[in-house]
Amino acid sequence: RDTEVDIVVGTHALLSNGMSFKDLGLLTIDEEQRFGVNQKERLKLICNCVDVLTLSATPIPRTLQMSLSGIRDTSTIRSPPPMRKPTISYVQEFDEMLIKDAIERELAREGQCYYVVPRISQLTEANEMLERICPSLRVIQAHGRMARGT
């Protein structure tokens, strides 16, 4: 709460209930998709009157939808950082052949693919579809649900 600090760089811990800010004017979030529900709820409390800059190479579907519908402003950096390949995003109806072509094109350029589903319960179905349309694909699953009692 003192005014001796102009900028704070930190992790999710800055969103803990014990933290407070005297005159927060700008909050910059790198890799928004790594934030959980609790952190985002806390952000809503902190950021009521604060400008928020969210950075992401791969925007989460909800954020992308909000920017496409005009709820959030969005800016796009059109060139990748040095030594990185550009990200190409499309928004359209589900099409297995489009997914297959996109995966094959990405792997041909020695890139990597992330296939995001909105619910953990849909992981198995998505996994089966990916293995069916791209039989040589090596697929792994990851999610953030913690085991009960943790």
Q: What would the pLDDT profile of 53-110 be if each residue is shown by its tens digit?
A: 777 766 667 777 877 888 777 776 677 778 877 777 778 899 999 999 999 998 898 8
Report how far residue 115's alpha carbon sits from residue 126's, in angstroms, rounded to the nearest whole number: 8
99 torsion bin: left (phi>0), alpha (psi -120 to 50), beta (else): alpha
Q: pTM of the full predicted structure?
A: 0.47
> Could you report the per-residue pLDDT of 117-140, keeping only the tens digit for each?
888 889 999 999 999 999 998 888
Residue 148 phi, psi (nearest 5):
-60, 140
